[in-house]
Amino acid sequence: MIRIEPQNGGRTLALRWNEKAARTYCLGSIACALALWTLNAYAQTDTAPTETIVTSTRTTKTPKPHKAAKSAKSVKRAKAEQAQGNAYATRPEVMQLAGEIAARRNLDPQWVSHAIGEARYMPGIVKAILPPAVGVPKNWTLYRSRFIDAVRIKAGVKFWSDNRETLERAEKETGVPAAIVVGIIGVETIYGQQIGNYRVLDALCTLAFDFPAAHPRASARAAYFQSELEEFLALTARTHTDPLALRGSYAGAMGLPQFMPSSWVKYAVDFDGDGRIDLFNSQADVIGSVANYFKAFRWKPGVATYYPVSFDLQKLDKAALLEPDILPTFTPADFAAKGAIVDAAGMQHPGLLALIELQNGADAPQYVAGTENFYAITRYNWSSYYAMAVIELGREVAATMPK
């Protein structure tokens, strides 16, 4: 434990030396480590920190050589792009916004300006955030194959086996099945194997200040990412974490569950009881936080996520059934009246249903009757394809678990 006395009169900080993190993010340089501590010392808040973000980000066993090489190449590409990108310190309008963010969030203006000024524009992120070209057909079979595979199933079995008691506790406390939690973490990061290589601050600044105008919802999305940037800065200031040290996805999502900063603040929990929230290293915190997320979005314990559906072609009003999209709108009786027939269990469903269409490119679509719990999964990622992948991965892992 090292104590740092800030020269600007701020709060004395007690910081843990994390040799692995220092090697990872400071390239073994003591001077760089001291610079990071000094940056943290400028962050002042009115209350003592209640959680810690730990920058060491590997919880799984050492990857096989070919996987390690692939991961190293991804990191190298991200760092190369980072080195080539323009620093936001050169943009007067961004520096003005930095001052406004500091005032809004009651943060040290010098600390915020330094952090945002050090962030860099990442052109690869701008390219990645754009939606597919118009006319590219959706394909559930192809989408499913990307997530329901032997690698994820094997990793999921290990994760479930290693955390069986924690998953059971989370299910008991929240009502969210272990299979759903396991499915989420597997789809998001293969249980920590792929958490992202971009500096979170670079990602959030790029999308807040340079969101591509070609996107159909550019203005709204830029505002969203500016809000996430503010949440991220407030979170790292409160926890005395270097905002330049954390790495995540191209959208700024962090840790094994890929929480955006606002989700970390609202839904992340200290499930292992060690006094801090760590979604990078604590599998218990990850499990508890994912379950808590779905509890917050009104997960209904014991209720199915979907039911099989068939059509009565003489009654079918598919346009009316699809009009609400994935929002549960119809009672089982309403469903049947419009020509969508669910099984006996579906007819007893106590809530509302939505007709979920999963397109298959040139082949016929697949349909299911989604429940409120299906809809809850789409609050994690607003896609019915994503929700089905989570459900099916969790189911496959459960079926493969040793009896």
Tell me: the pLDDT tens digits for 303-360? Answer: 999 999 999 999 999 999 999 999 999 999 999 999 999 999 999 999 999 999 999 9
Query: What pLDDT score was predicted for residue 39?
Result: 36
Determine the Cα–Cα distance for residues 348 and 211; give it in Å rounded to an integer.
Answer: 46
pLDDT digits over 282-305, tens only? 999 999 999 999 999 999 999 999
Determine the Cα–Cα distance for residues 397 and 161; give it in Å rounded to an integer.
Answer: 10
Backbone dihedral angles phi then psi of residue 311, each to the nearest 5 degrees: -120, 140
Question: Between vectors from CA 171 to CA 167 and to CA 176, what angle results, nearest 5°?
Answer: 115
Cβ count within 10 A of residue 357: 17
pLDDT band at 98 (very low <50, low <70, confident <90, very high): very high
Amino acid letter, 125: I
Contact of 279 with 196, CB cutoff 8 Å: no
Question: Between vectors from CA 288 to CA 285 and to CA 293, what angle results, nearest 5°?
Answer: 120
Domain ranges for the chain: 2-131+196-253, 149-194+268-300+375-403, 306-370
pLDDT digits over 319-333, tens only? 999 999 999 999 999
Is domain 149-194+268-300+375-403 in CATH 1.10.300.10, yes or no?
A: no
Question: Between vectors from CA 176 to CA 298 and to CA 353, what angle results, nearest 5°?
Answer: 50
Burial of 200 (0-12, 13-18, 19+ CB in 10 A): buried
Torsion of the alpha carbons at 196, 184, 380 and 97, rounded to the nearest 10:
-20
CATH H-level, domain 2-131+196-253: superfamily: Bacterial muramidase (1.10.8.350)
Residue with tokens 């059971």: 168
pLDDT band at 133 (very low <50, low <70, confident <90, very high): confident
pLDDT digits over 6-57, tens only? 333 333 333 333 333 333 333 333 333 333 333 333 333 333 334 566 554 4
Could you tell me what percent of the chain has a pLDDT over 90?
A: 75
Known catalytic residue at 188: yes
Torsion of the alpha carbons at 106, 92, 124 and 22, rounded to the nearest 10:
-50
Going by the DSSP 8-state scheme, the letter that residue 251 receives in this structure is T
Determine the Cα–Cα distance for residues 344 and 348; give it in Å rounded to an integer.
Answer: 7
Cβ count within 10 A of residue 214: 9
Say which of 51, 81, 188, 230 is annotated catalytic.
188
Domain 2-131+196-253 and domain 149-194+268-300+375-403 have a common topology = no
Q: Which residues of 372-396 are buried (b: 16+ CB within 10 A; e: fewer)?
A: bbbbbbbebbeebbbbbbbbbbbbb
Per the DSSP assignment, residues forming a β-bridge with 307 are 369
Torsion of the alpha carbons at 311, 312, 315 and 318, rounded to the nearest 10:
10
